Chains A and B, each alone.
Chain A
Amino acid sequence: MSPESQLLQYLISGLTLGSIYALIAIGLVVTFNITGIFNLALGEFVTLGALVSIALYAAGLPLIAAFALAVLIAAALGAVMERTAIHPARKANATILTLVIITIGVGIAIRGASLLIWGTHPYILPPFSEHAPFTVAGAVVIPQSLWVLGLAVVCVAALFAFFEFTYLGKAVRACVMNRTAARLVGINPQRLSLAAFTATGALGALAGIFVAPITFATYDMGFMLGLKAFVAAILGGVTNVPGAIIGGFLLGILEAFGVGLVGSGLKDGLAMIVMILVMLIRPTGILGAFRRGA
Chain B
Amino acid sequence: MGPSGAEHNNFPGDEVELVLRNKNVILIVLIAALFAVFPLMVTSGYYLGILVIVGFYSIVAIGLGLLLGYAGQVSFGQAAFYGLGAYAAAILSGTYGWPPLLALAAAPLLPAAVAAVIGQPILKLKEHFLVLATLGFGILVYILMKEFVDLTGGPSGYTGIPYLSIGGLVLSTDKQFFYLVWFLAFLTLVGAWNLVNSRMGRALRAIHGSEPAAEAAGIDTARLKLKVFILSAFLAGLAGGLYAFYISFISPSPFGFHASIQFVLMAVVGGAATIWGPVVGAFVIVGLIEFLRWAVPVVLPKAGGEFEIIFFGLILVLALLFRPEGIMSHKRRKQRSEPDAGKEAAGTCST
Contacts and interface: CB of A to CB of B under 8 A. Distances in A.
Task: Tell me whether A and B are bound partners.
Answer: yes
Given A92-B321, A101-B327, A280-B121, A116 B303 contact: yes
A93 B304 CA distance: 38
Which bracket fits the contact residues of A? 35 or more
Interface residues of A, dominant DSSP: helix
B12 interface: no
Nearest to B328: A97
A95 B305 CA distance: 33
Given A94-B326, A98-B324, A105 B313 contact: yes
A109 B310 contact: yes
A279 interface: yes
A18 interface: no
Contacts of A101: 74, 131, 264, 316, 320, 327
Interface in B200-249: none
Given A107-B313, A108-B316, A111-B309, A279 B133 contact: yes
Interface in A87-138: 88-89, 92-98, 100-102, 104-113, 115-116, 119-120
B69 to A, nearest CB: 13
B143 A272 contact: yes
A62 interface: no
Nearest to A280: B121
A115 B307 contact: yes
A212 interface: no
Given A97-B127, A97-B326, A279-B125, A102 B146 contact: no
A227 interface: yes
B311 interface: yes
A276 B137 contact: yes
Contacts of B135: 227
Contacts of A104: 76, 131, 261, 313, 316
B70 to A, nearest CB: 15
Nearest to B136: A272
Interface in A76-90: 85, 88-89
B20 interface: no
B317 A120 contact: no
Nearest to A231: B136
B132 interface: yes
Interface string B164-196: 000000000000000000000000000000000
A115 B306 contact: yes
Contacts of B139: 227, 268-269, 272
Nearest to A220: B305
Interface in B104-159: 121-122, 125, 127-133, 135-137, 139-140, 143-144, 146-147
A273 B306 contact: no
Which bracket fits the contact residues of B? 35 or more
Given A115-B309, A265-B143, A280-B121, A275 B132 contact: yes
Contacts of B125: 279-280, 283
A37 B128 CA distance: 8
A210 interface: no
B310 A115 contact: yes
B298 interface: no
A266 interface: yes
Contact of A109 (B122, B313, B320): B313
Contacts of A283: 125, 129
B302 interface: yes
B320 A112 contact: no
A274 B327 CA distance: 29
A197 interface: no
Interface in A241-294: 263, 265-266, 268-269, 272-273, 275-276, 279-280, 283
B314 interface: yes
A21 interface: no
Contacts of B27: none
A268 B143 contact: yes
A8 B209 CA distance: 56
A269 B138 CA distance: 10
Contacts of B313: 104-112
Interface of A: 37-38, 40, 85, 88-89, 92-98, 100-102, 104-113, 115-116, 119-120, 223, 227, 230, 234, 263, 265-266, 268-269, 272-273, 275-276, 279-280, 283
Interface of B: 74, 76, 121-122, 125, 127-133, 135-137, 139-140, 143-144, 146-147, 257-258, 261, 264, 296, 300, 302-317, 320-321, 324-328
Given A98-B327, A275-B132, 17 more contacts: A37-B128, A94-B324, A95-B127, A98-B326, A101-B264, A101-B320, A108-B309, A108-B312, A109-B310, A111-B310, A112-B306, A115-B309, A116-B300, A223-B257, A276-B133, A279-B125, A279-B133
25 contacts: A40-B131, A85-B321, A92-B324, A94-B320, A97-B326, A100-B128, A100-B131, A101-B264, A104-B316, A105-B314, A105-B316, A107-B313, A108-B258, A108-B313, A109-B311, A109-B314, A111-B313, A112-B313, A115-B305, A119-B303, A269-B143, A272-B136, A273-B140, A275-B133, A279-B125
